[in-house]
Amino acid sequence: MTRYILNRLGQSLVLLVLVSMIGFAVLNLAPGGPLSQFALTPGMTQAALDRISAQMGLDRPLIVQYADWFWRLLRGDWGRSFRDSRPVLDVISGHFGATLLLMGTATVISVTIGTWVGIKGATKRYSIFDYAATVGAMVALSIPTFWFGLVAIYIFSLKLGWLPAGNMYTIGNGTFLDYAIHLIMPAMVLALVDVAVWSRYMRTATLDVINQDFVRTARAKGMTPRRVLMKHVVGNALLPMITLAGLQVPTLLGGALVTETVFTWPGMGRLFLDSLGYQDYPVVMGLLMFSAILVLLSNLAADLLTAFVDPRIRLT
């Protein structure tokens, strides 16, 4: 088990370095580069741009810039924002809570509904419910997230007036109920695609377990269908879902970027787009690395948890 953990840690670190190298190269070699925002300042001269470039170390070879940036990153210095000179980690931490709340709520919704739909679809195979769940999943996976968000705003906010169109809370009213009401639409929209994914995977995993010999043996012993389902089927069908949970983090982050933009949710996704438009490269790189670390940690945690609960993987 120790060797397995060390192997996975080593793979994650190598992948993190590769992500940082590619991201740093793409941002610095993009048209305009980090100096593009300074070039728009009225009265800026080429001599002043050259001086700023030397002060920021941008006149050095790209590999030297990367090595210096990565060494400072390892020491906890993620740089400062071009916009307000705040430390990048402070900027990200100010928006991480909103994204965590949105992603956490969407995950609870998607896992709960998706698991139930998948199990019911497997136990009621080829029924009207199963066909409806399949069609619904295909529709949810085919239509862009932003479209669902705009439709939800049009129906529930503009037409019915039941829910607010955006933001995280009403200014001057930071109560728990106000936060919850603002969270409903973005969380449901973000969870929609994951519900489709979870239901399909859960249906397949449940059907695979139902056809196993130990399930038929339990039925032959006279156990009720409900007890067989809860005691023998669900627990074994959920094992592959642990790995899926880790793989869903990139999907949630990508969906959060769109959802936060549509609903003006003050999270990391909206911060990324704002920073990209402002060409605030230190914040963009910080968000890229922060997201990469979250994805790698979630995949590592899912792999380790799967190995812990499944002795076949642990012993191998």
Digit-coded pLDDT (tens) for 177-188: 888 899 999 999
Query: How many Å apart are CA 99 and CA 104, to the nearest integer?
Result: 8
- Distances in Å between the alpha carbon of 78 and those of 25, 59, 62? 16, 20, 17
Angle between helical axes of 239-262 and 176-210 (0-180°, round to 10): 140
State pLDDT tens for residues 219-277. 888 888 888 888 878 877 877 787 777 777 887 888 888 898 899 889 998 999 888 88
Crossing angle of helices 239-262 and 281-309, in 10° steps, is: 160
Q: What is the pLDDT of residue 315?
A: 59
CA–CA separation, 299 and 115 (whole Å)? 20
Token output for 242: 């642990």
Which DSSP letter does residue 48 get? H
Residue 91 · residue 271 · CB < 8 Å: yes
Nearest to residue 162, comparing CAs of 179, 185, 145? 185
**What ranges in 211-238 are assigned the alpha helix state H?**
213-220, 225-228, 234-237
CA distances in angstroms from 48 to 12, 52, 127, 168, 265, listed in the order given: 42, 6, 72, 41, 38
Please identify which residue in the block is written with the tokens 């030297």. 64
The answer to whether 167 and 182 have CB atoms below 8 angstroms apart is yes
**In angstroms, rounded to a whole number, what is the distance separating the alpha carbons of residues 288 and 292?**
6
Mind giving me the DSSP string for 59-102? TS-HHHHHHHHHHHHHTT---B-TTT--BHHHHHHHHHHHHHHH
Bridge partners, residue 80, by sequence? 87
Domains in the chain, please, with CATH? 1-75 (no CATH), 90-278 (1.10.3720.10)
Q: Which residues pair with 173 in a beta bridge?
A: 170
Give CA angle at 109 (107, 112), nearest 5°: 100
Q: For residue 39, how many C-alpha atoms fall within 13 Å in the half-sphere facing its CB?
A: 10
Tens-digit pLDDT profile for residues 26-67? 887 777 667 776 766 777 777 777 787 777 777 788 898 899
pTM of this structure: 0.84
Q: Which two tokens stand for residue 178?
A: 């106000």
Given pLDDT bands bounded at 50, 70 and 90, which one contains residue 310?
A: low
The mean pLDDT of 2-27, rounded to a whole number, is: 84
Cα–Cα–Cα angle for 55, 61, 63, nearest 5°? 115
Residue 91 has pLDDT above 80, yes or no: yes
Q: Which residues contact 248 (CB under 8 A, 6 or more apart)?
A: 107, 110, 194, 197
